[in-house]
Amino acid sequence: MTAVKRFPTPRVLDELARHFDRAGFRCFLVGGALRNIALRGKPTDYDLATDAHPGDVQRIFRRVIPTGIQHGTVTVLYKGHQFEVTTFRTESTYSDSRRPDSVAFSTSIEEDLSRRDFTINGMALDLVNREFHDPYGGLEDIDSKTVRAIGEPAERFSEDGLRVMRAIRFATQLEFSLDAATREAIPRALPALQRVSAERKRDELVKTIQAAHPARGILLMQETGVMSQLIPELAACDSVAQGEGVNRTVLTHSAYACEGAPADRLEIRLAALLHDVGKVDTYEEDEEVGMRFHGHDAVSADYARAILTRLRFSNDVTSTVAHLVRHHMFDYDPTGWTDATVRRFISRVGAQYVDDLILLRRADSYGKAGHPVRDRRLEALEEHVREVLAADSALSVRDLAVNGNTLHEEAGIPKGPLMGRTLEFLLESVLQDPAQNTREKLLEIARNYYEQRLQTGR
Ligand code: ATP
Ligand code: MG
């Protein structure tokens, strides 16, 4: 089958291309769109390349959004579809390896393809005359499942250090292998990666860990030295031996734990990746129990916060991940945990985080085994949590039958730190026994508590 037959395109795309043609411009399907058609028979989005400048595109089409006009990219809205249209570019210089200094437009598709990163991304299909351009053998590399740099890998990586992470990201997402020369060039390109902005690195990391099988990508980052630069705290976990197989070191365990978390839940994937990162600092040999990592949940949470802040994750993502990591060490015991224990657990971690913590724990088990494992204790906890939540008893200070104002007015408790401690005490009482959650009972408990504090002076 000739190459071009592998790229059936929808009619709307051919129509769009005719508008370019009529205006005297060329229009090519490029990048991820072609890759995905070749791999899966259909594209996820449409990346187009043209010799028309952004201003020309704005004249040809009525609805054009200047999404990345500084890079020569606009988005054309046409018949209910979106098309990313980028003017042909030449390889611009990256003097600081952070981002191109300037965009230089080109008139040839060949030149445009030559500045692209990998052969699988360096193909173009002329949508008017249906000519397929594949100067670097991208289609062959798709068939052999290989990520290969266009040209000299070391040179391409030094132009833009992010490409080392992109190589690993594509290998992970597509489940391809890295061409040997491309892989060998990565360690020497790490100084260039160092100069890349945290935001660009974060976006590639996110795409890598959101793949169906991120463990391979994480291990590739470790083996090539990318991890020691990106998250040195996690790279150091490879020196802490833990068990066997995927559970061999804390690093390999974390890679698989990440894989065991749901792919569409970024916070849980990140929490799984970082949940044990404090084990390096807390490792102790204990005569009786062997290895111990006392307090590693709190240390890991602090590290997770520092790592995610450094990588410019949002405050929301950072706090959620740190919170999940902080609380991942609960130990459910079906005979020992009463309803009150479960209420205290939910109250401590927050009702909205319980499901995620259970998912994190499942990921942790996957990270020990390398495959999903049935954890009956965890299932029992889930069931117990469901029962407790269904009973709708108070689980936080907000759910109490009294508030600070009532305590102040009715029991004379001054507003301030003591009020906070009183409310906590009331919550403790209600978690222990939900029947205490009435206005009269809580006022009585509060009065007694306050009197005792006055007597002991605390
Ligand atoms: P995705 O499905 O993730 O969008 P994609 O191949 O479209 O995959 P993008 O990051 O959207 O990837 O980039 C679009 C195209 O632009 C790539 O296929 C590649 O040809 C080129 N490209 C993007 N970033 C770089 C880079 N840093 N260096 C060289 N070429 C790049
Ligand atoms: Mg794309």
Tens-place pLDDT, residues 22-80:
999 999 999 988 999 989 878 878 999 999 999 999 999 999 999 998 889 999 999 99
Ligand nearest to the CA of 35: 1
CB atoms within 10 A of CB 124: 26
How far is 317 from 304, CA to CA, in rounded Å? Answer: 11
pLDDT-above-90 percentage for the chain: 81
The 10 Å CB-count burial string (b at 16+, else e) for 226-247 is: bbbbbbebbbbbbebebeeebb
Rounded to 5 degrees, φ, ψ at 333 are -125, 110
Locate 78 and state its tokens: 């046409």
Residue nearest to atom 7 of ligand 1 (CA): 32
Residues whose CB falls within 8 Å of the CB of residue 410, separated by 6 or more in sequence, listed in order: 402, 443
Question: pLDDT tens, 398-457?
Answer: 999 999 999 999 999 999 999 999 999 999 999 999 999 999 999 999 999 999 988 887
In the predicted model, is pLDDT for residue 274 greater than 70? yes
Locate 295 and state its tokens: 């307090």
CA of 94 to the centre of ligand 1 (A): 16
For residues 292-299, average pLDDT: 83
CA of 32 to the centre of ligand 1 (A): 7
Partners of 86 in beta bridges:
49, 73
Write out 223-247 in H/E/C secondary structure.
HHCHHHHHCHHHHHHHHCECCCHHH
Residue 286: the pLDDT is 77
CA of 166 to the centre of ligand 1 (A): 9
How far is 129 from 112, CA to CA, in rounded Å? Answer: 18
Residue nearest to atom 13 of ligand 1 (CA): 31
DSSP 287: T
CA of 116 to the centre of ligand 1 (A): 8
CA of 262 to the centre of ligand 2 (A): 23
For residues 370-398, average pLDDT: 94
Ligand nearest to the CA of 116: 1
Q: Based on the number of CB atoms within 10 Å of its own CB, is 27 exposed (0-12), middle (13-18) or buried (19 or more)?
A: buried
How far is 118 from 199, CA to CA, in rounded Å? Answer: 22
Q: How many Å separate Cα 19 from the centre of its chain?
A: 39
Q: Where are the beta strands (DSSP E) in 4-160?
A: 27-30, 46-50, 64-68, 73-78, 81-87, 124-126, 132-133, 146-147
Contact (Cβ atoms closer than 8 angstroms) between residue 76 and residue 64: yes
DSSP 338: -
Residue nearest to atom 1 of ligand 1 (CA): 32
In the predicted model, is pLDDT for residue 101 greater than 60? no
How far is 56 from 245, CA to CA, in rounded Å? Answer: 58
Single out the residue of 352, 347, 354 nearest to residue 423, CA to CA. 347
Locate 58 and state its tokens: 């704005």
pLDDT bucket at 93, cuts 50 / 70 / 90:
low
Question: pLDDT tens, 160-192?
Answer: 999 999 999 999 999 999 999 999 999 999 999
**Strand, helix or coil for residue 131:** coil
How far is 274 from 278, CA to CA, in rounded Å? Answer: 8
- Candidate of 121, 174, 193 to mutate for ligand 1, largest count of ligand atoms within 8 Å of Cβ: 121
Residues whose CB falls within 8 Å of the CB of residue 172, separated by 6 or more in sequence, listed in order: 208, 211, 213, 214, 216, 217, 220
The 10 Å CB-count burial string (b at 16+, else e) for 140-165 is: ebbeeebbbbbbebbebbbbbbbbbb
Q: Work out which ligand 1 atom sits closest to the CA atom of 36.
A: 2
How far is 389 from 223, CA to CA, in rounded Å? Answer: 45
CA of 307 to the centre of ligand 2 (A): 27
Residue 293: the pLDDT is 77
- Candidate of 36, 83, 117, 159 to mutate for ligand 1, largest count of ligand atoms within 8 Å of Cβ: 117
CA of 121 to the centre of ligand 2 (A): 10
Amino acid code (one letter) for 264: D
Q: Work out which ligand 1 atom sits closest to the CA atom of 169.
A: 3
Cα dihedral sign, 102-107-110-112: positive
DSSP 126: E
Ligand nearest to the CA of 121: 1
Q: Which residues surround ligand 2, an ion (CB under 5 A)?
A: 32
Single out the residue of 219, 271, 270 nearest to residue 246, CA to CA. 219
Locate 98 and state its tokens: 């952070």
pLDDT bucket at 103, cuts 50 / 70 / 90:
confident
Pocket of ligand 1 (CB under 6 A): 31-32, 44, 47, 116-117, 121, 160, 162-163, 166
For residues 112-138, average pLDDT: 95
CA of 122 to the centre of ligand 1 (A): 9
pLDDT-above-70 percentage for the chain: 96
CA of 31 to the centre of ligand 2 (A): 7
Residue 1: the pLDDT is 44
How far is 330 from 336, CA to CA, in rounded Å? Answer: 13
Q: Work out which ligand 1 atom sits closest to the CA atom of 30.
A: 18
For residues 221-225, average pLDDT: 98
pLDDT bucket at 261, cuts 50 / 70 / 90:
very high
How far is 123 from 7, CA to CA, in rounded Å? Answer: 12
Residue nearest to atom 3 of ligand 1 (CA): 32
Rounded to 5 degrees, φ, ψ at 86 are -120, 130
Question: pLDDT tens, 247-258?
Answer: 999 999 999 999
Euclidean distance between the first and the last CA atom of the chain, given in angstroms as a whole number: 85
